[in-house]
């Protein structure tokens, strides 16, 4: 849902529903228009693929809504393409359609391995999140993909703002700055990200969850099929594999996104209590979304989910020992709030 080219969400949707239910409109009648857009959509996706060396690519639609478009798209691309779970089926018989959970990528990894593919690409159920593995079967997480995209986009948008959510690696923010861009840390949430993009006129943004937003040549929203095309375009024009691009980034050790149940009444309060304690120390704290604390060992994050009764933790360091110290620090903060600390 959009309004005048911008995102339309949250309280806007609630207000629209209330107005519609009450019949509060100025004039006119509603109408339904049906249009066949698949041909135009896939044709548009291909506009930004400039070609180059042919690639071998494994694709997994996860039986989600991207399936039909994926079939059409790959039939028009050069190279060799191996399709998995392209039939749209809301029971998701193969696996859960979340490509950011590594266990859901086992089929894709096997396909890449068995067919000697350059990479594998997976989509979530509604086709707005992307997951990628390299030719060796290693996952490229959302922040690593955004680093690769940023390097390409900043070639034509020197000095532009590139946005990522608070869960992203410090490597990404440092890489954006190294490439001459302006790294911007934003709260998690695709509608929030889209609004920030419009405000800053940013050409690119992304989240750890696999949402990648292009306003460079595109419309400023998260379309995983389009992100796939942009990635293939980069690889087809490069003498490096996606694995080599991944390995060229600074290597760090980190936890995945750790989520654990906390009551609705306590989840935001816990974050506030931790923030209050940290304010009495010399800790370097970013409170964009929860608390993200930077120190000698790296950084750790604690935030409350906006949609579920959970707290989210993530830690990152250059060393395993540093990572353990960060996890111990988080555990101590949670224990001070009376929270049962999960094993992580």
Query: Which conformational region is residue 338 in: left (phi greater than 0), alpha (psi within -120 to 50 degrees), or beta?
Result: left
Q: Which CATH class is domain 38-248?
A: alpha beta
CATH H-level, domain 253-336: superfamily: Alpha-D-phosphohexomutase, C-terminal domain (3.30.310.50)
Equal fold, 38-248 vs 253-336: no
Q: So what's the pLDDT on residue 25? A: 85
Angle at 258 between CA 257 and CA 261, to 5 degrees: 135
Closest to 70 in 3D by CA, of 107, 42, 112: 42
Helix crossing, 38-46 with 67-75: angle to 10°? 50
Q: Is the C-alpha dihedral spanning 194, 191, 230, 256 positive or negative? A: positive
Closest to 332 in 3D by CA, of 307, 318, 320, 315: 315
Q: So what's the pLDDT on residue 29? A: 79
Residue 97 vs residues 61, 94, 123: alpha-carbon distances, Å: 8, 9, 7
Q: How is the chain split into domains, by residue range?
A: 38-248, 253-336
Q: So what's the pLDDT on residue 256? A: 84
Asked if 115 and 107 touch (Cβ cutoff 8 Å), the reply is no
How far, in Å, CA of 286 to CA of 301, rounded?
Answer: 9
Residue 256 vs residues 5, 248, 299: alpha-carbon distances, Å: 34, 21, 13
Residue 226 vs residues 45, 124, 242, 294: alpha-carbon distances, Å: 6, 14, 17, 34
Q: So what's the pLDDT on residue 260? A: 87
Q: What is the pLDDT along the chain (344 residues), one digit of tens a residue?
A: 788 877 788 899 999 999 989 988 888 877 889 999 999 999 999 999 998 999 999 999 999 999 999 999 999 999 999 999 999 999 999 999 999 899 999 999 999 999 999 999 999 999 999 999 999 999 999 999 999 999 999 999 999 999 999 999 999 999 999 999 999 999 988 888 988 998 999 999 999 999 999 999 999 989 999 999 999 999 999 999 999 999 999 999 999 888 888 999 899 999 999 999 999 998 899 999 999 999 999 999 999 988 889 999 999 999 999 999 999 999 999 999 988 877 77
């Amino acid at each position: 849902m959009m309004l005048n080219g911008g995102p339309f969400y949250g309280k806007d949707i609630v207000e629209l529903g209330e107005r519609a239910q009450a019949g509060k409109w100025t004039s006119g009648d509603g109408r339904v228009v049906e249009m066949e857009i698949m041909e135009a959509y896939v044709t548009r996706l291909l506009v930004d693929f400039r070609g180059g060396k042919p690639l071998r690519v494994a694709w997994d639609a996860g039986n989600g809504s991207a399936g039909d478009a994926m079939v059409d798209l790959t039939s028009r691309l050069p190279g060799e393409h191996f399709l998995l779970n392209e039939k749209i089926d809301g029971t998701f018989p193969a696996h859960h359609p979340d490509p950011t959970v590594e266990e859901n990528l086992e089929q894709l990894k096997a396909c890449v391995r068995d067919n000697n593919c350059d990479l594998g690409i997976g989509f979530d159920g509604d086709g707005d999140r992307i997951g990628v593995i390299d030719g060796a079967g290693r996952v490229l997480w959302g922040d690593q993909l955004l680093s690769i995209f940023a390097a390409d986009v900043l070639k034509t948008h020197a000095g532009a703002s590139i946005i990522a959510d608070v869960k992203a690696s410090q490597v990404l923010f440092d890489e954006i700055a190294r490439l001459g861009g302006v790294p911007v840390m934003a709260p998690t949430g695709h509608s929030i990200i889209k609004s920030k993009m419009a405000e800053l006129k940013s050409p690119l943004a992304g989240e750890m969850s696999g949402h990648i937003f292009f306003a460079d040549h595109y419309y400023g929203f998260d379309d995983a099929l389009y992100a796939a095309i942009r990635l293939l375009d980069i690889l087809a024009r490069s003498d490096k594999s996606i694995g080599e691009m991944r390995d060229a980034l600074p290597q760090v050790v980190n936890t995945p996104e750790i989520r654990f149940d906390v009551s609705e009444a306590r989840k935001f309060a816990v974050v506030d209590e931790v923030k209050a304690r940290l304010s009495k120390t010399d800790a370097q704290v970013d409170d964009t979304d929860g608390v993200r604390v930077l120190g000698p060992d790296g950084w750790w994050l604690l935030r409350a989910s906006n949609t579920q009764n959970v707290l989210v933790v993530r830690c990152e360091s250059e060393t395993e020992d540093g990572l353990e110290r960060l996890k111990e620090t988080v555990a101590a903060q949670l224990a001070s709030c009376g929270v049962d600390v999960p094993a992580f």
